[in-house]
Amino acid sequence: MTTTTERPAVAPSRTAPTTRVGGVAMRTPFWVFSGALAVIFLFPLVWTSVSSVSPHPGTGQVDGWGFGNYATLAHYQAGIGQYLANSVFVSGLCVILTLLISTLGGYAFARFRFPGRNLLFMVTLAILMVPYASLLIPLYVLLNKVGLSNSLVGVALVLTMFQLPFSTFMMRISFESVPRELDEAALVDGCSSFSALWRVLLPAVRPGLITVGLFAFLAAWNDFFAPLILINDTNKMTLPLAVSNLRVQVQGVVDYGATEAGVVVLAVPCIVLFLLLQRHYVRGFMSGALKG
Amino acid sequence: MRITRTRSTGRGLITGLVTAGLLVSLAACTSAKDDDTTSGGASAAVTAGTDGTDDGSTLTLWTRAPLEKQANLLVDAYNASHENQVELTVVPNDDYVAKVGAAAGSGGLPDLFAADIVYVPNWVKQGLFQDLTAQIDALNYKDTINKGHLAAGTQDGKEHVLPFVLDLSMLFWNKDLYKEAGLDPEKGPADLTEYVANAKAIQALNKPDTYGTATGLNCGGCLVFTWFPSVWADGDQVMNPEGTESLLASDTATSVYSAWKDMWDAGAVLPSSKDEAGPTWTAGFTEGKVGQMLYPATLLSSTTGFDVGVAGIPGPKGGASTFVGGDGIGVSKDSTKASQAWNFLSWMMSEDAQVEVLAKDNDVVSRSDLADNVYAQKDPRLVTINTVAGQGDTPVSLNFQQAFNAPNSPWLTLVRNAVLGDGSSVDPDNDEITAVLSQ
Amino acid sequence: MTLQTARLAVATSNKRTTVSRLRGWVYAAPTALFVIVLFVLPLILVFRMSASQWPLLAGDQGINLPDNYVNAVDNRFFWDSVRFTLKYTVLATILLITLGLGLAMLVQESSRWKGFLRTSFLVPSALGLASASLLFYVLYSPLAGPFAPIMNHFGWTFLGTPNAALASTLFLIVWRYAGFYMLLMLVGLQAIPSEIYEAARMDGASRWHTFRSITIPLLKPTLALTTILCVTGSLLAFEQFYILTKGGPDNSTITVVELIYSVAFQGQNDLGVAAAISVMVLAALVVINVVQLRAFRGSGEN
């Protein structure tokens, strides 16, 4: 709006016709600059992967290159397989629960008016505002009472709760961005509201579902604090907990090699999933067009 | 549509019921907890024979990650020779208190758990351990059990804790670097002045990346562990006997600080020591880049590739002492298998466990009568360590962690001001420690 | 006849709203169940703790209001931690919002190279904050890190001075989160119709001018959302400092949540005081977010 009022008297031609050579010359600084940025962002990951297989005194890989640090990790206590399985179980359950609850909830918030709707939504978002550490002791007490202490299901439930603000918000705007005519047409055709959701709306919000699922997985896979407090049994520990245990030896001395190997093992599944699903979740954000 | 409606009311009801149930149980749990604290803890005494019960029960045991190796050895040996089976849980060091706290508050502690010996007085006072006085007193070798650990777990004349793993701070020196610097590789410094001179001599070699000494100037625990012995070696004390007043502004303490300030100003201390918060404080020495260091004895086996000399930690005027650290272990207030748990503890103190498990692994034994055992005799350094253990000390105070070990402790402020600063604020900084200790 | 139809119509519409309400609740029930059982109930317990004498190891010892709040404010690190948290929040928010927007504009159009750039900026978001902090812990280490020789040469370390520690932590946060904020900004930019840019170009507006008078105003909803997210997240900063600096050097990087953690688990072991600080943090966040929402809404109307 202000542009029109402040229009300069003579419009200078900003976009001078560039020759091919000039274009390349103009773009070179851009390439250098953006390339440097990409290097900065990728360097820490590349360096960690490389140095996790390179020799360093005081680690599992003392001379020569090799997978000594990974061997340390693999043979820790119950063995890495057990911890991987536990992590997969917790993350999987958390993803399923998050998808289920936030789909139903997002649908409710986007399509229905019911008493307490705004209150429930605000309280859900308020989960973001409470320090994680403050809630865990009460949660521990609570899970103990319902017999879910020292159980991976309990951990998954807690992690799902912490995922709800983001996922409910995301699913709400995803449903809102689907034209109402779509489900109304389905209802007129005699579908119940549930089958309208299942058959018509779910395919339309698929990018949103992928985004929510991916973020739930990332959060659950990497979480350290909930399993630390809620799990007592060594055989039920998740991977981040095992890595953290391995890191520190006698008198608090850190095994850098095992730490690097642990970071790599933790990061690889996340990065692979992230890259595989990249197109979808970028679309998930786009389709919501985040209305604030 | 009707189906939906009934379902919804049904679900609403269930939600309501679950919520109500949880509210009730929450209320119930808080009151139950009150009962726990009054009935459990110090007042409940374990009643069992000298060796406890070995009836095939499953016992749970928690320890922090730094002691994992020793804990695994002990547990494996016990499980192989007994009906009872111990299940071990290892917890990251920094989060051990959080985990024990969460469990203690809701009656979920394991049968047995180990604790950093400096936390033990506080935890005993909070009633986390059962009274073991009768059992411990019945041991015919009671007088040989490490005094510092026993004292830390004793409150109002009742004993609750036995030594689990001992960790001593010792003076280590790199014999190769000593030789290069023209020092006698077979003889460690006799007092702190000599320590300073040796550090400077090694620094004067001007070898790249090689330094006279190293420490963790941002690590309260490391400094307590390695600097307190210098005060004790001169016959001085760091706290009053009740552990409520800090005596760290004494002449002895001040000369310890100035010795370190001297080395720091001369550039003879590994530069990264300044920010070292603990995780890598021993790495320089382990890699052979540091000439001499006050160092945990448990790491003796990790110094490979060069020859190491070991002695007690000297004071400004000589002498030798050590900080008897490590972990104590006891039966938790929540255990219903106290007699079985005692079976593990009494076995742990036996010659079988002390010599055939711990000493065999080059660990320090917790009984002075077993110090000179077959395994120690193979390595004279181990005899030195075991002997100095008897001259060492374990400070006892309820607020020890907060005053010294915590990342934001007043003790760290004192040391940093005294060594890195101009050293003029030792008195007010010492008062700050007393303020925390006497809370 | 007409009356009857009208009545019927009223009846059906009433019935329809009731049905719609019930259906809404059916779908919202799982969310409500989770939020009430796993969030509201524990939160109530946190409020109770904050009003009770509640040592970590001994449990509830009865109401002692308002001692915990007094003790919390009297804690020798309370005001320092508040000041530091605010400082960190302001810096982190400015950095992440401007960098997020800058990166988004850098990679806005689609081309192979820009697709690659976008992916490289986003990949760090796949790591958990704890893993990322551990990674940088090694990276910044004067022993094992790649910059160890440089650090030894200059006698300088990444976490050695208060300012260096803050800057190093901010770098970690930017590295971990810039891609995520870029993505949110991209979404916002995408929603601005290209005709408006076209019109501005026809009018001969300069790039800066277009940015200031078209992009920024039209991006306001996105900016509001990202700012609120970033402020809330930064005020609750914990893991990055807990792993990297432990509040040091010389207690210069203690955040409020770190204070909560240390009061609860490192030394004082007082859940009552820790809960009191948590309640204050929650109250402050509610106020700050309401103010932010008002501010963005108000300036949107102008």
Q: What is the pLDDT of residues B109-130, one digit of tens each?
A: 999 999 999 889 989 988 899 9
Write the DSSP symbol of residue C57: T
The two beta strands, B162-174 and B308-311, are antiparallel
A28 exposed, middle or buried (CB, 10 Å; 0-12, 13-18, 19+)?
A: exposed
Among left, alpha and beta (phi > 0; psi -120 to 50; other), residue C60 is: beta
- Smallest CA-to-CA distance from B176 within B285, B269, B270, B297 is with B285
Q: Which of A191-200, B355-364, B375-384, C289-298 has the lowest mean pLDDT?
A: A191-200
Residue to substitute from A191, A251, A253, interface B, most B β-carbons within 10 A: A251
Q: What average pLDDT is seen over chain C?
A: 86
**Phi, psi at C285, each rounded to 5°:** -65, -40
Kindly report the nearest CA distance between residue C273 and chain A, in angstroms. Answer: 11
CB contact under 8 A, A47 and C146: yes
pLDDT grade for A23, boundaries at 50, 70 and 90: low
- C25 Cβ under 8 Å from any chain A Cβ: yes
* Chain B contact probe: residue of C67, C161, C245, C266 with most B CBs at under 10 A: C266
Query: Distance between CA B279 and CA A251 in Å, rounded?
Result: 8
- Give the chain C residue whose CA is nearest to the CA of A127: C39
> Who among A130, A133, A161 is closest to C238 (CB)?
A133
pTM for the model: 0.81
Q: Residue B283's pLDDT band (boundaries 50, 70, 90)?
A: confident
pLDDT at A50 over 80: yes
**pLDDT given at position B17:** 40
- Residue C155: which CATH number? 1.10.3720.10
Q: What is the pLDDT of residue A25?
A: 62
Q: Is position C145 within any domain?
A: yes
pLDDT band at B373 (very low <50, low <70, confident <90, very high): confident
- Which residues from chain A sit within 8 angstroms of residue B98, using beta carbons? 228-229
DSSP per-residue letters across B395-415: ---TTHIIIIISTT-HHHHHH
Q: Which residues of chain A lie closer than 8 angstroms to C119, CB-CB?
A: 275, 278
Residues 6+ apart with CB under 8 A from A79: none
> What is the structure's pLDDT at A58?
62
Q: Of how many residues is chain B composed?
A: 439
Q: Which residue of A has its CA nearest to C42?
A: A138
Interface probe, candidates B7, B31, B68, chain A, greatest A C-beta count within 10 A: B68
Check: CB of residue B328 under 8 Å from CB of residue B396: no
pLDDT tens digits along A187-241: 777 777 778 788 888 888 888 899 899 999 999 998 888 888 888 777 888 888 8
Cβ contacts of C35 on chain A, cutoff 8 Å? 120, 123-124, 127, 161, 164
Decide if B250 contacts C134 (C-beta within 8 A). Answer: no
Domains in chain B and their CATH numbers?
A: 3-167+325-389 (3.40.190.10), 168-323+396-437 (3.40.190.10)
Cα separation of C269 and B97, whole Å? 9
Touching A: C residues 78-97, CB under 8 Å: none
8 Å CB contact of A44 and C175: yes
Tens digits of per-residue pLDDT, C116-146?
898 899 999 988 888 888 889 888 887 777 8
- Hey, is the C-beta of B275 within 8 angstroms of any chain C C-beta? yes
pLDDT of A2 reads 35
The single-letter DSSP state of residue A15 is S
Q: How much is the average pLDDT of C153-169?
A: 84
Residue closest to B222 by CA, chosen among C43, A251, A174: A251
Residue C269 lies in a domain: no
| pLDDT confidence bin for A8, thresholds 50/70/90 | very low
Q: Are A219 and C128 within 8 A, CB to CB?
A: yes
Residue B173 pLDDT grade (very low, low, confident, very high; cuts 50, 70, 90): very high
Cβ distance B102 to A251 less than 8 Å, yes or no, reads no
Residues in chain A within 8 Å Cβ distance of C278: 130-131, 134
Rg over CA atoms, chain B: 25
pLDDT of B85 over the 90 cut: yes
pLDDT, residue A252, reads 53
The domain of C193 spans 78-253
- A54 at interface of C, judged by CB pairs closer than 8 A: no
Subunit contact A248:B98, Cβ cutoff 8 A: no
Category of A252 on φ-ψ map: left (φ > 0), alpha (ψ -120 to 50) or beta: left
Cα distance between residue B307 and residue B172, in whole Å: 10
Sequence-distant (≥ 6) Cβ neighbours of residue A25 within 8 angstroms: none
Nearest by CB to B283, which of A58, A145, A232?
Answer: A58
Strands (E), chain C: none
Q: Which residues of A, range 84-123, sit inside 8 Å of C by Cβ? A: 100-102, 104-105, 107-109, 111-115, 117, 120, 123
Does the beta carbon of C129 lie under 8 angstroms from any beta carbon of chain A? Answer: yes
Structural domains of chain C, count: 1
**Which are the contacts of A200, defined by CB distance < 8 A and separation ≥ 6?**
A182, A183, A185, A186, A191
CB contact under 8 A, C249 and B275: yes
| Cβ within 8 Å, pair A117-C32 | no
Q: Give residues 207 to 266 of A whose Cβ lies within 8 Å of C.
A: 218-219, 221-224, 240, 243, 247, 256, 259-260, 262-263, 266
- Evaluate whether residue C90 is within a structural domain: yes
> Does a structural domain hold residue C164?
yes
Query: Residue A244: its chain B contacts at CB < 8 A?
Result: 92
Amino acid at site C68 = N
Interchain contact, B275 vs C36, CB within 8 Å: no
Looking at the complex, does the CB of residue C201 fall below 8 Å from at least one CB of chain A?
yes
Confirm if B94 and C265 have CB atoms less than 8 A apart.
no
- Please say if the pLDDT value at position B232 is more than 70: yes
More confident residue, C9 or C262: C262
Partner residue facing C191 (CB), from A128, A139, A289? A289
Nearest CA-CA distance, residue B60 and chain A, Å: 9
Cα separation, B126 vs B104, in Å, equals 10
More confident call, B273 vs B279? B273
**pLDDT digit string (tens) for B36-60?**
333 333 334 444 457 888 999 999 9
Find, in chain C, the residue whose alpha carbon is nearest to that of A159: C38
Report residue B178's pLDDT band, with 50, 70 and 90 as the boundaries: very high
Q: What is the mean pLDDT of chain A?
A: 80
Using the structure block, give the residue that is written with the tokens 């006997």.
B241
* 8 Å CB contact between C88 and C235: no
Distance separating alpha carbons of residues A152 and A154, to the nearest angstrom: 5
Ramachandran category for residue B254: left, alpha or beta (phi over 0 → left; psi -120 to 50 → alpha): alpha
Q: Are C288 and C67 in contact (CB under 8 A)?
A: no
Identify the pLDDT of residue B25.
Answer: 39
The answer to whether C29 contacts B272, with C-beta atoms less than 8 Å apart, is no
Is C277 part of a structural domain of the chain? no
Cβ separation B106–A144 shorter than 8 A: yes
User: Residue A52 — very low, low, confident or very high, per pLDDT cuts 50/70/90?
Assistant: confident
Is the CB of C38 less than 8 angstroms away from the CB of A218?
A: no
pLDDT tens-place string over residues A104-159: 999 999 988 888 999 999 999 999 888 887 888 788 878 888 888 888 999 999 99
Test the C interface: residue of A1, A137, A169, A286 with most C CBs within 10 Å: A137
Nearest CA among A69, A122, A95, A119 for reference residue A223: A95
Residue B244 neighbours by CB distance under 10 Å: 14
Residues making up chain A, counted from first to last: 292
- The whole-number pLDDT of residue B45 equals 44
Of C46, C191, C232, the CB nearest to A134: C46
Which chains pack against A, by 3+ Cβ pairs within 8 A? B, C
* pLDDT of A10 higher than 70: no
Q: What is the CA radius of gyration of chain C?
A: 25
* Contacts with C, A 61-90, CB within 8 Å: none
Quote the crossing angle between the two packed helices C67-74 and C271-301, to the nearest 10°.
Answer: 80
Residue-level pLDDT at A26: 66
Question: Residue A249's pLDDT band (boundaries 50, 70, 90)?
Answer: low
pLDDT at B39: 38
Contact check, Cβ <8 Å, A250/B278? no
Check residue C42 and give its pLDDT. Answer: 93
Subunits adjacent to chain C (3 or more Cβ pairs under 8 Å): A, B
Distance from CA of B402 to the nearest CA of C (A): 4
- Whole-number pLDDT of residue B65: 78
Q: How far apart are CA C283 and CA C289, in angstroms?
A: 10
Residue C37 lies in a domain: no
pLDDT of residue C38: 93
Scanning C36-128, the segments in alpha helix (DSSP H) are 41-50, 67-74, 78-106, 112-122
pLDDT reading at C183 higher than 70? yes
Write out chain B residues lying below 8 Å of A248, CB-based: 65-66, 92-94, 279
Res C299: pLDDT: 65
Interface test with A, best of B15, B87, B89, B294 (most A CBs within 10 A): B89
Backbone angles phi, psi at B240, to 5 degrees: -70, 165
Question: Which residue of chain A comes nearest to B282, CA vs CA?
Answer: A253
In a domain, residue C68? The reply is no
B43 inside 8 A of chain C by CB: no
Q: By the 8 A CB rule, do B78 and B344 touch?
A: yes
Structural element, H or E, at residue B284: helix B283-286
The verdict on ipTM greater than 0.85 is: no
Confidence at residue C16, expressed as pLDDT on a 0 to 100 scale: 64
Closest residue in chain C to residue A283, using alpha carbons only? C187
| Closest to B319 measured CA to CA, from B415, B223, B392, B265 | B392
**Which range has the worst mean pLDDT, B294-298, C149-153, C192-196, C221-225?**
C149-153
Residue B213 has a pLDDT of 94
First vs last Cα of chain C: how many Å apart? Answer: 52
The CA-CA-CA angle for residues A46, A48, A53, to 5°, reads 105
Query: Residue C203: closest CA among chain A residues belongs to which residue?
Result: A7
Residue that wins the pLDDT comparison between C15 and A68: A68
A139 CA to centre of own chain: 22
Please report which confidence band the pLDDT of residue C14 belongs to, taking 50, 70 and 90 as the band edges.
Answer: low
Tell me whether residues C200 and A262 touch, CB distance under 8 A.
Answer: no
- Mean pLDDT over A83-94 rounds to 94
Report the alpha-carbon distance of residue B361 to residue B364 in Å, rounded: 9
Task: Decide if C220 is inside a domain.
Answer: yes
Q: Provide the sign of the torsion angle of the four alpha carbons B347, B348, B353, B357, taken in this order.
A: positive
